[in-house]
Amino acid sequence: MTTSKTAKPKTATKAAKTKKAATKTTVPALSKAEIKASIIKHLHSTLGTDENKANNHAWWKATCAAIQELVLERLRTTQKTHYVNDTRAVHYFSAEFLMGRLLSNNMHNFELFDEASAALKELGVELTDVLEEEPDMALGNGGLGRLAACFIDSLATKELPAIGYGLHYEHGLFRQEIKNGAQIERPDSWRDYGNPWEICRPESIQEVPLYGYVETKYGANGSIQKEWHPGNIVKGVPWDIPVVGYGGKTVNVLRLWQSEASDYFNWDVFNAGGYVDAQRENIQSETISKVLYPNDETEAGKELRLIQQYFFCACSLKDIIRRYKRAHGDDWSRFAEQVVIQLNDTHPAISIPELMRILVDRAQLDWESAWEICTKTFAYTNHTLLPEALEKWPARMIEKILPRHLEIIYEINHRFMAEVEEKWPGDNAMKAKLSIIEESSEKMVRMGNLSVIGSFAVNGVAAIHSELVKKNLFPEFEALWPGKLTNVTNGITPRRWLKACNPALSELINKKIGDDWPTDLDKLQSLSAFATNKTFQNQFMKVKLANKKKLAEEIKAQTGIVVDTNAIFDIQIKRLHEYKRQHLNLIHIMALYRRILENPDYDMHPRVFIFGAKAAPGYKLAKDIILAINKVAEKINNDPRANQKLKVVFLPNYRVSSAEKMIPAADVSQQISTAGKEASGTGNMKLALNGAITIGTLDGANIEIAEEVGDDNIFIFGLTVDEVYKLNENGYNPYDYYYQNREIKAVLDWLDSDYFTPGQPGALSSIKQSLLDGGDPYKVLADFESYSEANIALDKAYRDKAKWAQMAILNTAKMGKFTSDRSIQDYVDKIWKLDSCAVK
Ligand code: 26Q
């Protein structure tokens, strides 16, 4: 208290001297007294409790309810404004929205955080404790889902008319527990005691047909009409989550569909005495939105997954069309002017034949007109080049679930093949590559090809990734339609990923350069001027140290491990996948351990390696890598010969809310994927924004981060994309590295022993196996030496405190490009052609 009071006038004078520090002129939407009164009101009349009985959970709910009142008021104004102006809007279709917690975010976006905190304090309650009560809304796996969440934040902030459409999973991504070092999956129940943000909209329920058969009808004039007679109908119940833009003016909506049995459809069975059968159908219908598939980067090919995809797309399209018809009746000519649909990967690609079905079979448009509308409505974002992640569905499966859609897909393909024939007459190899249908032993529908053909724009998510999409994934499409494939580099919302998660750094920045950076992130650039300023360096690193202390407490509380905050906090947080190479990090840690054992004076700055990662439950090797990290951690942390220099921490159940705690405390950001494999990455941006230095490969957005911060402020290592390709062409033999590098051999052999798993030799052998006999598909051994050298350079750099502080400041200063506001502006300019709509 005293220090901040005495320090205040000093910094204020300084800030005034350097630059006009933008001061808040806006009056808060609610005063402290109003918030306090509202919280108490909700405690009494919404929750039926009082100030004396309320626990933190009740305080959380009452605070949410108080904020939600304001949210809903602004939501009404926004919707009215959009309706009156009949605005063109973007509809973001995504099977995943990884929203995390909303209370802190909504308070920050209304700029009410400090008022609410003060109001609760007067009631004897700590806001930070209250915030911890909120379960994460974990309706996504990782990057793709979190990107969708950052994007809808930016859309609302930029006052763009937009709606997110997705699935209202009853269970989000599994909760991870670690037992004896191994991952155990537990169900996630994010709305067990009610979710205060969502609003059920029974007035907008939709019905979705499934299964059944297609009838061909012949009209008097010889015309053919198709009618789908479904075998089942499910109900889609919409739940709306308000999305508050920064400044609180525009409040958009995320609409998530929950499946329910359609009562009337089962009525006949019911009346015929089939009560039990009717109930069984109910259970099946309700299964659709039960659980999020926990696989990312693998195409599971499960029937329920396809039904999930169709279910939310069909509900969303009906919802869009209902709204369009309210303004334009049966005049379809303006549909593509009013509606643009962004497909977040191919997961919602079934929307393309679904819109064709509605236009041709229902609205009775001719095929050409319908196709023109379709291909002016959809745009598609690709997030992966990994072959195993490219969605393909067996034609037989589509035929069973969506018989009419398969016919439409064949028709789209038939007409498209004629176009290809015209461009490349007689070229059957070209046709085979471009076809939506893969003629393998089992006919498959390629959702990527369908998406490119049915969209007017296709984008990758980082410059290099988009180049590889053009050169390697879809070169034939690039030749056919030059200009259709483009790039929009990903971004992250600086409101959640700096302002809210790192209040101390935000405050420091505000004092130095003003507080308008959250909506104009290029403003951070002006911090560069202070990168060599000793006082600012000290302030910046003092904030980092304080954040490290907080994380150290969290680590202690969760794992019992005590870490030294003077050590380098080195963080790798992301889904567990071989291509992300957590095992490269691990093998390097083992090498460091070995060096220390061989030479007790081995010269290195103390370092804490911190991991957070979930593995897909069926991905054996990924789970083995988690086990290995934990076993190596246990050994090192308890070995007095090494644990003064080296600690390893695996924080269980990595999720948005733990990212918010880890990122502000990071000194080092590990971004070490095999070049060409990580489409973009977005954790890399979050960590650099918070002053962590990247050690990384020239992959995904790392390349653009390196361009922004400059070579002196990042540690780049490893093979480039071209070098990886060359290595593959010339034949890569990991044994060469095993036999030529003593350290690699020793470390891999160590994994075979029972040193880390006493009494269980071989428990970690699968990793060695994959790197040798498995052919090391992700080039871990090829990159090891270069990685090791980069780590030595990093270690050396850290010891020069001033130099490191300068690098950290410059990383924060140069992250302006990576705000999701810029990504959204790119989408608006290149793809959506959307106008913002000011809400009064
Ligand atoms: C597909 C079919 C069946 C079941 C699951 C899936 C599935 C689910 C999720 C496939 C992929 C995902 C998620 C992919 C993902 O998160 N990709 C990441 O997207 C980020 C945002 O663009 C990028 O930054 C990352 O590089 C990319 O890996």
CATH code where residue 296 lies: 3.40.50.2000
Q: Which of 296, 303, 347, 674 to mutate to test the pocket of ligand 1 (most atoms within 8 A of CB)?
A: 296
pLDDT (0 to 100) of residue 391: 96
Of residues 384, 682, 757, 812, which has the active-site annotation?
Answer: 682
Q: Which of 345, 464, 699 to mutate to test the pocket of ligand 1 (most atoms within 8 A of CB)?
A: 345
pLDDT (0 to 100) of residue 4: 37
Task: Give the chain's mean pLDDT.
Answer: 95
User: Which of ligand 1's atoms lies nearest the C-alpha of 302?
Assistant: 3
790 burial level (CB within 10 Å; 0-12, 13-18, 19+): buried
CA of 110 to the centre of ligand 1 (A): 31
CA of 480 to the centre of ligand 1 (A): 27
CB 789 within 8 A of CB 743: no
- Asked whether the whole model's pTM tops 0.75, one would answer yes
Is residue 433 annotated as part of the catalytic site, yes or no? no
Q: Are residues 533 and 551 in the same domain?
A: yes
CA of 682 to the centre of ligand 1 (A): 12
pLDDT (0 to 100) of residue 329: 97
Nearest to 564 by CA among 610, 599, 602: 610
Q: In terms of DSSP H, where are the helices of 514-619? A: 534-559, 582-598
Instruction: List the residue whose alpha carbon is closest to atom 1 of ligand 1.
Output: 299
pLDDT (0 to 100) of residue 18: 39
Q: How far apart are CA 471 and CA 325, in angstroms?
A: 41
pLDDT (0 to 100) of residue 793: 98
- What does DSSP assign to residue 579? G
Of residues 91, 108, 383, 822, which has the active-site annotation?
Answer: 383
In a domain? residue 662 = yes
Rg (C-alpha) for the chain, rounded Å, is 28
In a domain? residue 443 = no
Q: Give the 3-state secondary structure of residue 216.
A: strand
In a domain? residue 452 = yes
Q: Are residues 305 and 346 in the same domain?
A: yes
Is residue 383 annotated as part of the catalytic site, yes or no? yes
Q: Are residues 793 and 687 in the same domain?
A: yes
Q: Are residues 96 and 194 in the same domain?
A: yes
Residues in the ligand 1 pocket, defined by CB under 6 Å: 141-144, 147, 293, 295-297, 299-300, 305, 383-384, 389, 391, 461, 490, 678-682, 700
Residues in the chain: 840
In a domain? residue 337 = yes
Q: How far apart are CA 670 and CA 703, in angstroms?
A: 14
Pairing verdict, β 693-696 and 668-671 = parallel
User: Which of ligand 1's atoms lies nearest the C-alpha of 300?
Assistant: 3
Q: Are residues 182 and 202 in the same domain?
A: yes
Q: How far apart are CA 317 and CA 786, in angstroms?
A: 50
Q: Are residues 213 and 254 in the same domain?
A: yes
In a domain? residue 42 = no
Is residue 817 annotated as part of the catalytic site, yes or no? no
In a domain? residue 502 = yes
CA of 542 to the centre of ligand 1 (A): 37
User: Which of ligand 1's atoms lies nearest the C-alpha of 147?
Assistant: 21
Q: Give the 3-state secondary structure of residue 812.
A: helix
Is residue 580 annotated as part of the catalytic site, yes or no? yes
Q: Are residues 472 and 552 in the same domain?
A: no
Is residue 686 annotated as part of the catalytic site, yes or no? yes
- What does DSSP assign to residue 816? G
User: Which of ligand 1's atoms lies nearest the C-alpha of 682?
Assistant: 24
Q: Which of 96, 139, 144 to mutate to test the pocket of ligand 1 (most atoms within 8 A of CB)?
A: 144
Q: Are residues 454 and 569 in the same domain?
A: no
Q: How far apart are CA 12 and CA 404, in angstroms?
A: 68
Q: Which of 96, 141, 465 to mutate to test the pocket of ligand 1 (most atoms within 8 A of CB)?
A: 141
Print the SS3 string covering 270-295: HHCCCHHHHHHHHHHHHHCCCECCCC
Residue with tokens 């046709």: 431
CA dihedral 466, 472, 478, 480 (to 10 degrees): -160
Pairing verdict, β 89-93 and 162-167 = parallel
Is residue 91 annotated as part of the catalytic site, yes or no? no
pLDDT (0 to 100) of residue 61: 98
In a domain? residue 500 = yes
pLDDT (0 to 100) of residue 262: 87
CA of 139 to the centre of ligand 1 (A): 13
Of residues 499, 686, 814, 822, which has the active-site annotation?
Answer: 686
pLDDT (0 to 100) of residue 2: 34
CB 449 within 8 A of CB 471: no
Domain span at 542: 494-582+606-617+636-739+764-818
Angle between the 503-513 and 2-18 helix axes, to the nearest 10 degrees? 40
CA of 677 to the centre of ligand 1 (A): 12
Helix, strand, coil percent content, the chain, rounded in steps of 5: 55, 15, 30
Q: Are residues 384 and 507 in the same domain?
A: no
Tokens of 220: 């008097």
Tally of structural domains, the chain? 2
Of residues 108, 470, 484, 580, which has the active-site annotation?
Answer: 580
Q: Are residues 453 and 573 in the same domain?
A: no
User: Which of ligand 1's atoms lies nearest the C-alpha of 490?
Assistant: 22
Q: How far apart are CA 588 and CA 44, in angstroms?
A: 56
CA of 98 to the centre of ligand 1 (A): 12
CA of 654 to the centre of ligand 1 (A): 17
Q: Are residues 537 and 657 in the same domain?
A: yes
Instruction: List the residue whose alpha carbon is closest to atom 21 of ligand 1.
Output: 144
Q: Are residues 719 and 783 in the same domain?
A: yes
pLDDT (0 to 100) of residue 13: 40
Successive 10-residue mean pLDDT values, the chain, 840 residues: 35 39 64 98 97 97 98 98 96 98 98 98 98 98 98 98 98 98 97 96 98 94 93 96 98 98 68 69 86 88 95 98 97 98 98 98 97 98 94 97 98 98 98 96 97 98 98 98 98 98 98 98 98 98 98 98 98 98 99 98 98 98 98 98 98 98 99 98 99 99 99 98 98 98 98 98 98 98 98 98 98 99 98 97
Nearest to 576 by CA among 631, 609, 621, 523: 621
Beta bridge partners of 571: 610, 669
CA of 474 to the centre of ligand 1 (A): 18
| Run of H or E residues at 199 | strand 199-200
